[in-house]
Each structure stands twice: as structure tokens, then as C-alpha cells.
Amino acid sequence: MLILAVLFIIWVSAAHFFAKKSDTSSQGSTESTNVAYKKSSDKPKQVKSDTSSSKKKAQTQKKTEKKQPVKQSLKLVQTQGNISSYTLSKTKKFVVDISAKKGQQTWVSATDSATGKKLAYGLASAAQKKTFHFDASGVSTLSLNIGSVPNTILKINGKTFKFPSQTVTQKINIAFKK
């Protein structure tokens, strides 16, 4: 009986020693294995959870969300003669690019309506490679005076603006709603 007791203690100690050793060797792994028991039967069930694939799925989902940004909205409010009013919304930026069509030129004036500050003023010319690029994100209403609409390329946040008419001179007011 004494021999059985000593063998039992050795067996428990060995099992405990090897269990600690396997725990420390698996700490650097990104994959873990869990054992769960069902109540209906006493058979063990192994459940694997792979944290690295979960991270990859989350990263893929974030990339997909970045590729599908909310589309900005530039809506015509009204046009009266050669003056048109628009509202820009669903965007945090308001970047304006103005250039002249190939071989052409156009006169441009861009003003912050609230402060009267000029953001752009002068002649855009394709031949002289003179264009206007400015950030109007801090402006509540931008007033653009265009001297030759048929010769002008206007982009707002990279999207080409379609003028409401081809009237040569036009004033465009854009209210920016962040």
C-alpha cells in the first residue's frame, strides 16, 4: 500500500510539472486551444480560437469602411439670373481647384462672404499654367465670381462642378455645412 501511495504522489507531481512546462511554452503563440465539456456526455470537446484571423477580419472590415466614404452633397438651392446658390454638406473638407480649359483663360475671384477675405483673385490661364488651389474648410459661405464660365474647370473636393448655365459671367455662392 505504501508503494502505491508513493507512486501516486510521483504521478501527480510529474503531471503537475509537465502541465506547467506546456503552459509556459505556449505563451508566445497567437493560437489557443480550449477544452469544454458537454453536460450530456463527459467527452471532451476541443474549441480553437484563432486571434490572428480575427484581427485580419477586423482590419479588412476597416479597409472596406475607408473605401466607402460618405458621399459629399452639393445641392443647388436657387438660381436667379447669373447668381446661383449651393449648399455643400456631408464632408469635413472644402478644397477648391480652379483652372482654365486647354488654350483658354478665365478671370476668378473667391471670397469668404463672412469676412470679405480674398482666397483667390486673378487670371487662370492654361497657356501660362496658372491655376488656383485653396482650402475653404474654415469658410461658412464662399462666393466665387467667374469671368468666363465656358473656359473654366471648377473642382470641389476633387469633383468637377457643373455650372448651372453657360452664361459667360457667373457668381456662385456655396454655403458650407460641416
Domain that includes residue 155, residue range: 82-176
Q: Which one-letter amino acid corresponds to residue 90?
A: K
Q: Does residue 126 form part of some domain?
A: yes
Q: For residue 163, what is the DSSP state?
A: P
Which pTM does this prediction carry?
A: 0.61
Q: What is the mean pLDDT of the chain?
A: 80
148 in a structural domain: yes
Three cell numbers written together for 51: 486571434
| pLDDT above 70 coverage of the chain, percent | 67
More confident residue, 22 or 161: 161
Whether residue 33 lies inside any domain: the answer is: no
Q: Does residue 36 have a pLDDT over 80?
A: no
Q: Please tell me the total count of domains within the chain.
A: 1
**154 bridge partner residues:** 98
Residues comprising the chain, all counted = 178
Give dist(CA 109, CA 71) in Å, integer. Answer: 27
Average pLDDT over residues 28-33: 44
pLDDT at 69 over 90: no
- 17 located within any domain: no
Query: Would residue 2 count as lying in a domain?
Result: no
127, part of any domain: yes
User: Does a structural domain hold residue 109?
Assistant: yes
